[in-house]
Structure 1
Amino acid sequence: MACTTILIGKKASYDGSTIIARNEDSSNGTFDPKRTVVVTPEEQPRHYRSVLSHVEIELPDNPQRYTAVPNALLDEGIWGEAGFNEAQVAMSATETLTTNERVLGADPLVTLVPAKGKPGEEGYEPEVPGGIGEEDFLTIVLPYVSSAREGVKRLGELLETYGTYEMNGTAFSDADEVWWIESVGGHHWIARRVPDEAYVTMPNQLGIDDFDLDDAMGAQRDYMCSADLREWMAANYLDLTLSDADLGLAGSEEGAVCADGVHTRFNPREAFGSHTGRDHVYNTCRAWMMQRTLNPSDAWDGPDAEWGPESDDIPWCRVPERKLTIEDVKDVLSSHYDGTPFDPYGNLGTEAERRRFRSIGINRNNHLAVLQLRPYAPAATRCVQWMAYGSNAFNTLAPFFAQVGDMPAYLRDTTGHVTTENFYWANRIIAAIADPHFNDNVNTIDNYRERTMAFGQRVLRETDATVAALAEVGAGTAEVEGVLEEANQRVADELREETDKLLDKVLYTSSMLMKNSFSLSDH
C-alpha cells in the first residue's frame, strides 16, 4: 500500500507532543473508502484469520479498547491503519517498503500458497497460509501493548513467528518516545527510536540509514532488532559497510567490525533497501520535498544542492529549523511539489517536469491520520487523532479525542455508496470537481482548511479546560467520556457544515468553467 509518513520527536514539536502521521494511499487504479471507529474489547476477535494470507492467530483474552481507521468494505480484510489504545499508545501501520534480491534470497517473504487439487484426490496439496501484513498489524498489536517499546517488541515477535508477505514500516509512540520498526525479509526486523529533537520522513522505501547493533543486542536504548540479525547478516554477506577498519587505515574505530565481518554500526538502507530508477521518481523525491519544506535554508535546488529529488542519501532523520506544528504535518503530507517545476498544477516547469515525480498529496490518498500525544493536557484529553479523508490537496484535518466509546457518524458510517452524507465521499467529490480547475479553487480550499483547523484547535483548548474542571470535582470516567464525545460531535458538525459549503463553492466555480459554457444568454 503506497503511503507517506512523518514522525516528530517531543522536542521537535511545537508543544512537546510526540506526533506520528501517515497518509494511507490506495494502490494505483483503486480507491478504498475509510471509516474512523472505536473497537471495544467485546468486538475484538480472540481467534484472528487474515483475509489475504489466511494466517490464523490466537489473540490474548485481555484486549484494550482502541481506535482504528478500517476499510469500509471488508472484502480484503480490516486494514485498521491508525489509532490509540487505552494505555495511550499510538500506532500507525504501515508504510510499504522496498528491498533487494539479496535480502529476499536470504529470507524469502512468506506468501500464501493455494491448495492444489481437492482433498482425497491424487496429488492433493493443502493450502499453506502466508504471513502477516498491513491488513492485520493494527488489529493484532495495538490492543495488547502499554508503551511504544512494547509495540515494537510485540510486532517483532509476531514477524519472527508468522513471517510477512511484504516489507513494511510501522510507527509507535507514547508520551515520551517515538519508535519506527522496519521488516527485513520474511522474518527479520530492525527498529530505531526517533531522536527527541528530530523528525523523520518516510516514503515507500526502506529508510533507516544508521544502526547500532551493539545497542540493539544489548541495552536497547535507541535500537532493537530480531534476535539473530547479526548471525543472519553474516551468513548472507548483507553488510555493505566499507569502513576505515576494512581498509586498514590508521585511527579506525576499535571493534568497528566484528569477527564475523558485520560492523557494529552499519547502514540498513544500503544493506536491506533499494536504489532503483523507480525509487527516484516515486520515493526519494517525496523525502526531498518534505525536508526541503522543513529545512528550507539548506541548498535543495540547482547544481550546488547537497540533495536533489533523486538523491539516495537523503537523511532518515534530522533536526528542523524550528519546532513543527500540526499545520506543518498537513502541509508536507498534502504536497504536490508546490513552488517547484514538478508541481502538476504549476507553471514553472515543462509538461514533462510537472509529471515527473509522484506527489505526496495524490488523487488516491485514502486518509491521513495524525496521532498527537499532548503531555500537558488532562489525562483524558492527551490523545488526539487528527483525521482527513480523500486527496490531501483538497481536504482539511480535524481533531478527535481518542479516549471515547464511539466516533461521530460523519466519520464512522462510510459505506461503498457515494454520498455527501459522510466525510469520506464528500471529500472525494470535492477533489474530483476542483482538480481540473485547481488554481481557480485553491483559495477557497485554503480558506476552508484554515477555518476548520482553527475551529478544531479552539475545541481542544476549551475541552481541556472543561475536563480539568471536572477532575477537580472528582467526576467519573463516564461523565468525562461524555464531554469528549460531545466535543467530537461539535467538531464533526462544524466540519460537515463547512464541507457542504465548500462543495457548493467549488461546484459553482468549476461549473462556470466547463468547456461547453457560452456567454450569450437567452435573456
Structure 2
Amino acid sequence: MSCTTILVGKKASYDGSTLVARNDDSPSGSFMPKKFTVVTPDKQPKVYRSVISHVEIELPDNPLRYTSLPNAVDGEGIWAACGVNELNVSMTATETIASNERVLGADPLVVYSPAKGRKNTANYVPEKIGGIGEEDIVTIVLPYIKSAREGVIRLGELLSKYGTYEMNAIAFQDENEIWWLESIGGHHWMAKKVPDDCYVVAPNQLGLDSFDFEDAFNEQKNYLCSSDLKEFIDDNHLNLALYKAFNPRDTFGTHSDLDHIYNTPRAWVAQKYFNPNTSKWEGDDADYTPLSDNLPWCRIPERKITVEDIKWVLSNHYQHTPYDPYTNGAKELYRPIGISRTDVLALVQIRPYMPDALKAIKWIAFGSNVFNTFVGMYANITKTPKYLANTTGDVDSHNFYWASRLLGVIADAHFNRCLPNIDHYQTAVMSKNHELINRFDKEFENYLNNKETSGTLFCEKANEEIAKMLEEQTTKALNKVVYSASCLMKNSFSRSDA
C-alpha cells in the first residue's frame, strides 16, 4: 500500500502526547471503503488464516480488546490498518517500503504460489504458503502486547518465523515511547525508538539512516533487530559504508528514479513545513530538494506539533509550490501526500496527563484528505457509532466514509469555488470536536463517582455525541458543495424562464 506516516515524540508534541498518524492509501486506480470497529476478545480468532498468503498462525490465549479500521468489503482479508488496545498501546500497519536487489537476493520474500495441476497426478505441485503482510499484522500483534517495545519484539519474532511477502514498516506507540520497525528482505528486521524531541516522516521508503548495533545487542535502550542481522550483512557483503558510520538506508534501501518522483518529494515537503527555517529548501543552493536521498530520518521541529499540523501535512498537495495539481500550468512531477486514493487517515494521540480510561484519542478521516476532516473519538470502547461503522461497498451519504468520499469527488472538480466550503467544514468540525473532548474530559471525574457507570460506557456515550455533531456538519458541508458545484455545471444558461 502506498502510504505516508508521521511520528511525533512526546517532547515534540503540543501536549506531551505521543502522536502516530498514517495515510492508508490504495494502489493507483482503486480505493477501499473502510469502517471504524472494535474487536472484543470473543471475536478474535484462535487460529488466524491469511486470505492473501494462506499462512495459518496459532494465536495466544487471552487477547486484549482493540479498535480497528478494517475493510468494509469482504474478499481481501481484514486489513485492520490502525488500532488501540485496552492498555492504551497502539500500532499502525503498514507503511510499504522497498529494498534493493542485493538484499532481496540474500533473503527472498516469502510469496504465496497457488497449487498447479491436479492432485494425485505426476504434474501436481502443491501450493506454497506465503508469509505475513499488511493484511495480517495488526490482527496478529496488537491484541497481545502491553507496550510499544513488546510490539516490536512480537512482530520481529513473527517475521523471523513466518517471513513476509512484502517490505513493510510499522509504528508502535504507548504513552512513553514510539518505536519504528522496518522489515529487511523476507525474514530480517531492525527497529529504532523515535527520540522524544523529534518527528519522523516516512514516505514508502526504508528510512532509517543510523543504527547502533552495540545497543541493539546489549542494553537495547533505543535499538532492536534480528538476532543474526550482523551476520546477514557481513555474509552477503551488504554494508556499503566506506569511511563513515553504517547507514541502513544505503545498505538496505533504494535510490531509484522512482523514489525521486514518488517518495522523497513527500518527505521534502513535510520537513519543509515542520522546519521552514532550519534548512534551505529551494533554489540552486538548497540544502534539500525533492530529489534529496539524504533527508534526515528524524528531526527536531522548530515548534511543537499539533494534531492540526499533522492533518495539514497529510493533506498536502504541494500547495505554494510549482507542483500543486490545482494550479494552472503546474508541473505534475511528484506524487502528493494528499492523494485521491486515500482510504483512511488515522492518528492516535495517547495523553499521559489523563486517566487510563481517557488516555487514547483516535482521530479518523476517510477519503481524500484535501477535502475531508478529522474526527477525534475516545478509544476505550466496546462499540463504535453507527455513522462510522456502517460502511458498505455501496455509495451512501448516511455514513462518514461515503459522505467524505462524495465531498472530495464533487469539490475536486470545482476546487477554487468549493474550497471555502471545505475550509469552513474542517474548521467547524475540529473546533467543535475539541470543545466536546474538553467538556467530556472535565465531566469524567463526576461519572467515576457513579459506580454504575464505567469508563467504557462514558466514552461510548461521548463518542455518540461527537458522531452526531460530525454527521450534522458533514451533511451541511455536502449540501453547500453540491450547491456550489451545481451552479458551475456546463449546461447552465444565464437566462431564466420569461
Task: Sort the TM-score into its range (normalised by shorter chain).
Answer: over 0.9
2:423 match? 446
2:131 match? 131
Residue pair 1:378, 1:468 contacting (<8 A) in 2 also: no
Q: Give the superposition deviation at 1:519.
A: 0.7
Q: Which deviations, in whole Å up to 9, do the C-alpha atoms of 1:225-283 show, x marking residues without a partner?
A: 00000000000011111116xxxxxxxxxxxxxxxxxxxx5111110010111111100
2 CA distance for matches of 1:290 and 1:518? Answer: 44
For this pair of structures, how many residues does the alignment match?
497
Letter of the structure 2 residue corresponding to residue 275 of structure 1: H
1 CA distance for matches of 2:12 and 2:214? Answer: 27
1 CA distance for matches of 2:154 and 2:76? Answer: 24
Indicate yes or no: 2:438 matched with 1:483: no
Q: Give the superposition deviation at 1:475.
A: 3.4
1:403 match? 380
Task: Provide the secondary structure at the position in 1 that maps to 2:304.
Answer: coil
Letter of the structure 2 residue corresponding to residue 303 of structure 1: D
Letter of the structure 2 residue corresponding to residue 332 of structure 1: V
1:20 match? 20
2:80 match? 80
Task: Provide the secondary structure at the position in 1 that maps to 2:455.
Answer: helix
Q: Which deviations, in whole Å up to 9, do the C-alpha atoms of 1:155-194 show, x marking residues without a partner?
A: 0000000000000000000000000000000000000000
2:98 match? 98
Residue pair 1:5, 1:202 contacting (<8 A) in 2 also: yes
Partner of residue 390 from structure 1, selected from 367, 371, 381: 367
2:256 match? 276
1:243 match? 243
2:358 match? 381
Give percent identity, aligned residues only. 55
Task: Provide the secondary structure at the position in 1 that maps to 2:86.
Answer: coil
2 CA distance for matches of 1:281 and 1:506? Answer: 32
Partner of residue 292 from structure 1, selected from 246, 258, 272: 272
2 CA distance for matches of 1:238 and 1:439? Answer: 50
1 CA distance for matches of 2:451 and 2:251? Answer: 54
Task: Provide the secondary structure at the position in 1 that maps to 2:322.
Answer: coil
Partner of residue 346 from structure 1, selected from 310, 327, 341: 327
1 CA distance for matches of 2:439 and 2:227? Answer: 47
- Of residues 122-131 and 2-11 in structure 1, the stretch that sits farther from structure 2 once superposed is 122-131
- Moved runs in structure 1, 4+ residues, more than 6 A? none
Q: Which deviations, in whole Å up to 9, do the C-alpha atoms of 1:452-499 show, x marking residues without a partner?
A: 01111111111111112333x2636x5322221111011111111111
2 CA distance for matches of 1:196 and 1:486? Answer: 33
Q: Which deviations, in whole Å up to 9, do the C-alpha atoms of 1:357-387 show, x marking residues without a partner?
A: 1111100000000000001112111010000
2 CA distance for matches of 1:10 and 1:270? Answer: 29
- Of residues 321-330 and 338-347 in structure 1, the stretch that sits farther from structure 2 once superposed is 338-347
2 CA distance for matches of 1:273 and 1:145? Answer: 29
Q: Give the superposition deviation at 1:346.
A: 2.2
2 CA distance for matches of 1:405 and 1:500? Answer: 27
Task: Provide the secondary structure at the position in 2 that maps to 1:197.
Answer: coil
Q: Which deviations, in whole Å up to 9, do the C-alpha atoms of 1:273-304 show, x marking residues without a partner?
A: 10111111100000001011111112111112
Call closer, same or farther: CA 1:159–1:276 in 2, change over 3 Å. same
Indicate yes or no: 2:339 matched with 1:362: yes
2 CA distance for matches of 1:205 and 1:266? Answer: 18
1:222 match? 222
Residue pair 2:88, 2:356 contacting (<8 A) in 1 also: no
Indicate yes or no: 2:316 matched with 1:335: yes
2 CA distance for matches of 1:378 and 1:500? Answer: 34
2 CA distance for matches of 1:397 and 1:67? Answer: 17
1 CA distance for matches of 2:445 and 2:236? Answer: 57
2 CA distance for matches of 1:167 and 1:197? Answer: 28
1:169 match? 169
Task: Provide the secondary structure at the position in 1 that maps to 2:457.
Answer: helix
1:314 match? 295
Residue pair 2:34, 2:366 contacting (<8 A) in 1 also: yes
1:147 match? 147
Task: Provide the secondary structure at the position in 1 that maps to 2:377.
Answer: strand
2:246 match? 266
2:197 match? 197
Partner of residue 418 from structure 1, selected from 375, 389, 395: 395
1:522 match? 497
**Mind listing any 5+ residue stretches in structure 2 that lack a counterpart?**
none
Letter of the structure 1 residue corresponding to residue 431 of structure 2: A
2 CA distance for matches of 1:18 and 1:475? Answer: 31
Indicate yes or no: 2:36 matched with 1:36: yes
Task: Provide the secondary structure at the position in 2 that maps to 1:142.
Answer: helix
Letter of the structure 2 residue corresponding to residue 390 of structure 1: G
1:260 match? none
Call closer, same or farther: CA 1:475–1:240 in 2, change over 3 Å. farther
Q: Give the superposition deviation at 1:516.
A: 1.8
1:500 match? 475
Residue pair 1:6, 1:202 contacting (<8 A) in 2 also: yes
Task: Provide the secondary structure at the position in 2 that maps to 1:11.
Answer: coil
Task: Provide the secondary structure at the position in 2 that maps to 1:237.
Answer: coil
1:179 match? 179
**Mind listing any 5+ residue stretches in structure 1 that lack a counterpart?**
245-264
2 CA distance for matches of 1:334 and 1:475? Answer: 43
Residue pair 1:52, 1:76 contacting (<8 A) in 2 also: yes
Q: Which deviations, in whole Å up to 9, do the C-alpha atoms of 1:64-106 show, x marking residues without a partner?
A: 0000100001201000010100111010000000111000000
